[in-house]
A = this chain, B = another copy of it.
Amino acid sequence: MHPQPEENDVDRVFHALADATRRAMLERLSQGPVSVSQLAEPLGMTLAAVVQHVQVLEQARLVHTEKVGRVRTCRLEPAGLDAARRWLDARRTPWEQALDRLAQVVKP
């Protein structure tokens, strides 16, 4: 709709998050990096399907992967989640937004 620089990213991120399987993967990855096969194991699904989900998560910059030898290791990448959070936070009430800015000041 608005192919603004950011808009497309937000699209990808929310679309990636809209799937329960992918959210389960992120949850798993929040406990540390794992290989694609390890990711696939608890989900009753083909490896091929999992690979496709991983690609979606990568394009949304929610995970980053690196292949060493024959195993591809996936780890969480905060960029995507941050984009989502920024969008949501921009739609808070003015009072909540003031609190957000306070947190920003306290943080660094």
State the A residues within 8 Å of B (CB): 1-2, 7, 10-11, 14-15, 17-21, 23-24, 26-27, 30, 43, 78, 81, 84-85, 87-88, 91-93, 99, 102-103, 106-107
Instruction: List the B residue with the shortest CB-CB distance to A62.
Output: B91
Inter-chain contacts of A14 with B (CB < 8 A): 14, 17-18
Known: A1-B43, A78-B93, A102-B106. 9 other contacts (CB 8 A): A1-B21, A1-B24, A7-B20, A11-B19, A17-B18, A27-B91, A81-B88, A81-B92, A88-B88
Instruction: List the B residue with the shortest CB-CB distance to A92.
Output: B81
Partner of A11, one of B20, B30, B91, B102: B20
